[in-house]
Amino acid sequence: MTTRQVLLDAFADAFNRHDLDAVMSMMTEDCVFLASAGDEVEGKRIVGQQAVREAFAAILANTPDAQWRDAEHTIGGDRACTRWRFTGTTVGGTAVETIGCDLFHFRGDKIWIKDTLRKQPSPDT
């Protein structure tokens, strides 16, 4: 198992424990989170440890039982893709299940960019 695979497994485990201290310890100080939704073509760009932590905390607060399961990593050089299945229930009581992926860029032994892409189930399904 490569060092980056170990990092991505630990990152996923920390998210599933909702342990933001552990999550943020694996990201660079100038980390970037490209959220799947937002006003820009790339979603919403969030930069820096504090802002990214707040964005992750908001996701977990909105879906307190959030889980990212069945992680499959593909790693090449300083980039990786992790495919996952997200499940959870929003604070409003809506059950959510979707598949998505994170595109990662590494700097050294930490995650620099986390770019999230996900399927958006239509209301008809």
43 found inside a domain = yes
Please indicate, yes or no, if residue 124 is contained in any of the structural domains: no
Distance (Å) of CA 41 to CA 37, 38, 58, 87, 114? 9, 8, 21, 25, 16
pLDDT for 125 equals 44
CATH of the domain at 83: 3.10.450.50
Mean pLDDT value of segment 75-99? 95
On the question of pLDDT at 116 being above 50, the answer is yes
Q: Is the pLDDT of residue 4 over 80?
A: yes
- Residue 41 is predicted with a pLDDT of 80
The strand pairing partners of 33, in sequence order, are 46, 114
* Dist. CA 104–CA 107, nearest whole Å: 10
The domain tally of the chain equals 1
Q: Which two tokens stand for residue 12?
A: 């996923």
For 88, the domain range is 3-118
Q: Quick one: pLDDT at residue 57?
A: 97
Q: What DSSP element (H or E) covers 62?
A: helix 49-62
Give the per-residue pLDDT at 81. Answer: 98
Q: Evaluate if pTM is beyond 0.85.
A: yes
**CA angle 111-3-18, nearest 5°?**
50
Rg (CA), the chain: 14
Looking at the domain assignment, is residue 78 inside a domain? yes
pLDDT digits (tens, 9 = 90+) for 90-106: 999 999 999 999 999 99
* Residue 71 counted as domain residue: yes
